[in-house]
Structure 1
């Protein structure tokens, strides 16, 4: 049973199980949720988008590969990739142990309002609970 009660309230969420953290400089940090990493299992490889890549909202831009499956990671909003997490190259399992601090990539959104329109923790919890039945 997924423990979706531990959702950080300061993050936004997508229906495709990415979390999004708004940073003070206007960028956003993206990772995958506790629920997503539980579904995938032990991470073995992460492929991030290239820095400078322009992404459209919901565009496939990264891959998280586990012993069980490979999952596409989607851009939560339209914008440009400004950083990727180099730690995951050698330690993709950080996503399993610290899903809400082991970020994958950072973006500068074209429109900050797009970020505000994403799901909050309560809405995401409702989505996860509905998928579980």
Structure 2
């Protein structure tokens, strides 16, 4: 259920390396997170060129149940946003690991990505 080629955070974000932009990583939320949120109706993402700090809030997901913060898994500059989510935020629910990605960041330190959780550790945290 949790792709092994991704890294994860305890806040339920995933990181795919590399992203589409040179030197970037792609970020989204996990299946667990989208399921807990319910039907996502609005997505607020960081702006292109914005610097995000690992662990800090950088956006929001609004669902029919609640509003949830998006946390930056790594520090760096935002170089891409999934603009398709403006018209179809439900992509986050329907395809959280592909079409429902959120944004891309060029990490200030690539070691930040290495320090994230692997799939087995993330899943064990959910079960424990």
| Deviation at residue 55 of structure 1 after TM alignment | 1.0
* Equivalent-residue separation in structure 2 for 1:88 and 1:123 (angstroms): 29
| Of 8, 11, 31, the match for 1:16 | 11
SS in 2 for 1:83: strand
SS in 1 for 2:113: helix
SS in 2 for 1:20: strand
1:46-57 mapped onto 2 (5 Å cutoff): 46-57=43-54
Aligned residue number for residue 79 of structure 2: 82
Question: Are 2:35 and 1:35 equivalent residues in the alignment?
Answer: no
SS in 2 for 1:31: strand
Question: Are 2:5 and 1:7 equivalent residues in the alignment?
Answer: no
SS in 1 for 2:65: coil
SS in 2 for 1:111: coil
| Deviation at residue 26 of structure 1 after TM alignment | 2.1
* Equivalent-residue separation in structure 2 for 1:34 and 1:72 (angstroms): 16
Structure 1 unpaired stretches of 5+: 1-5
| Deviation at residue 103 of structure 1 after TM alignment | 0.5
* Equivalent-residue separation in structure 2 for 1:69 and 1:99 (angstroms): 18
| Deviation at residue 128 of structure 1 after TM alignment | 1.1
Aligned residue number for residue 120 of structure 1: 118
Aligned residue number for residue 3 of structure 1: none
Q: How many residues align?
A: 125
* Equivalent-residue separation in structure 2 for 1:62 and 1:18 (angstroms): 12
| Of 76, 98, 101, the match for 2:95 | 98
Q: Deviations over 1:88-129 (max 9, x none)?
A: 000000111101111100000001011011000001001111
Compute the RMSD of aligned alpha carbons: 0.8
